[in-house]
Amino acid sequence: MEHRLGRVRLEDGTSVAYSTVGTGPALLLAPGWVSHLELDWALAPQRRFLEALARGRTLIRYDRPGCGLSDAAPSSPALAELEMEVIGAVTAAVGVERFDVVGMSLSAALAVRWAAGRPETVRRLVLYGGWADGARVGPAAVREHVLGLVEKHWGLGSQVLTEIFAPEAGPAFRASFAALQREAASAEAALRVLAAGYALCVEADLGGVRAPTVVVHRAGDRAVPLAEGERLAAGIPGAELVVLPGRSHIPAVGDADGVVDAIRAGLGLGRVRRRFAPELTPRQWEVAALVAQGMSNREIARELVITERSAESHVERIRDRLGLRSRAQLAAWFVTSRG
């Protein structure tokens, strides 16, 4: 699959990037917290997860203002109010009025607010790893410590958050995901989103959700306790709670197939056949490794004793085969595929 990028402007002129992939009825996947449409697509586990959700659906994603390919966030309004405008603008730009919604982590609460406020737009709702009240995600001292790390030491903060989000991931994925977070948002933007998430409470919205809802949560989620998933399911009329094994908050880590199956079941979809990643030739693996080291085409040609034009052709063929748009995506794909 190859995703298609687009842009839409909010009322104040802020440009928001979004992407679509797949075919079929629309499925909106709201970002967990910070995101980068292209780098998320390049991380091998993330991409497999997204492609699995897109089977039989047109998957719609976006970078919220302040993150990824979108403009910086305006000083006002508050995150929740801004997110409602973003979702409305993105779905209007894609041309859909009624769609399924998957909210993960922070966006689970935002998806609840959208579904309660605009019930006519939501066919089905699936919430993964979410909370009803951000103040219950962890003790106040822990939340303040994490916010302080993000604000003062974003490099270290991104690593600490990755350890919390993905304890079952290998070192290659953890390093790549920490770097992705830093590429996706500045320390200031990340702090703003995380602080808003901790302050977000949608308990009053739960009873207003009318769409068939499935709440998916991992039993040992280190970032968000299962009790919050239970609170979401208990507060939404008729909601079903699906508890899966595992400790990772990031759905693409650990038993990602189990998460995909649970989400697709909540959307009324069947399981998807597992897909192997596209294979490269030995020479293409060599070239990809050198790209991941930051080498230019000229440096790759010198290293492999080939012409610069041949090096360029190798890179282009690799990108075409993998459906990647940039050398940065290729580097991220290589690191998460081979470590």
Domains and CATH numbers, the chain: 4-266 (3.40.50.1820), 282-338 (1.10.10.10)
Lookup result for tokens 């041949």: 310
Which DSSP state fits 68? T
CA distance 40 to 46: 6
Residue 276 has a pLDDT of 45
Q: Is the peptide bond before 167 cis (omega within 30 degrees of 0)?
A: no
The two tokens of residue 333 are 């794909």
- Other Cβ atoms closer than 10 A to 203: 15
- The span from the CA of 301 to the CA of 216, in Å, is 49
User: pLDDT, tens digit, for every residue of 198-243?
Assistant: 999 999 999 999 999 999 999 999 999 999 999 999 999 999 999 9
Q: How far is residue 266 from each of residues 216, 229, 269, measured CA to CA in Å?
A: 9, 15, 7
pLDDT tens digits, residue range 262-281?
A: 999 999 999 887 554 556 78
Distance of CA 60 to the CA centre of its chain: 11
DSSP sequence for 86-102: HHHHHHHHHT-SSEEEE
Give pTM, 2 decimals. Answer: 0.83
Query: Phi, psi (5° rounding) for residue 76?
Result: -150, 155
Owner of token pair 């790549």:
176
The pLDDT of residue 287 is 93
Burial of 273 (0-12, 13-18, 19+ CB in 10 A): exposed
Q: Across-strand partners of 125?
A: 101, 213
Instruction: Give 284-334 pLDDT, tens digit per residue.
Output: 889 999 999 999 999 999 999 999 989 998 998 888 777 777 888 888 878
Residue 168 DSSP code = T
The C-alpha atoms of residue 125 and residue 214 are separated, in whole angstroms, by 7
Q: What is the pLDDT of residues 126-164, one digit of tens each?
A: 999 999 999 999 999 999 999 999 999 999 999 999 999
Give the mean pLDDT of 16-39.
96
